[in-house]
A and B are shown apart, each in its own frame.
Chain A
Amino acid sequence: QQQVKQSPQSLIVQKGGISIINCAYENTAFDYFPWYQQFPGKGPALLIAIRPDVSEKKEGRFTISFNKSAKQFSLHIMDSQPGDSATYFCAASFGGSQGNLIFGKGTKLSVKP
């Protein structure tokens, strides 16, 4: 019930394409769903986050789609660029963002020029 399942494990996208990463959860008490981006040798950095009362949130080229009934959420990266090549983690918590974050296993994204 505490798991967050993330797919795919790796993703290769052409420059300008759309990258889509999916996550699923079981615990309906989760109330905060962030996405983090991590470059090699760096700590995770928050990209975008959503709460379950919203079905979609967009910030620049990054969009979270949230399906509460299916207990799924996804990250869409529009117009993917080589600089987006990194590992992406979805996460979930209850108690807001102060709650401990439960992370997915990550998706390694490679954007080919």
Chain B
Amino acid sequence: DTAVSQTPKYLVTQMGNDKSIKCEQNLGHDTMYWYKQDSKKFLKIMFSYNNKELIINETVPNRFSPKSPDKAHLNLHINSLELGDSAVYFCASSHSSWSTQYFGPGTRLTVL
């Protein structure tokens, strides 16, 4: 009965590779988000989608491309991975853009 789930939990890859992280929510929410948490635990929003449409893109390099096939899913594809992309990526969802956000367990990405 997991509310917001992400796969994989851990991802270790080489520089230059392309990888994807998947997110699914079973809460029936309309809005989904991707956040990046760096090594200092600073959590910053990357993208926000509402009903499959992009509404927030916080100056994220275009190597990052979110895709929302339906309201319950928001996947994150990253091209040409760089060392600085190493972080924990959190997916979250909420009923609307101003209501409580529920976070997934995170995906720890390590770029070697």
Q: Do A and B come from one complex?
A: no
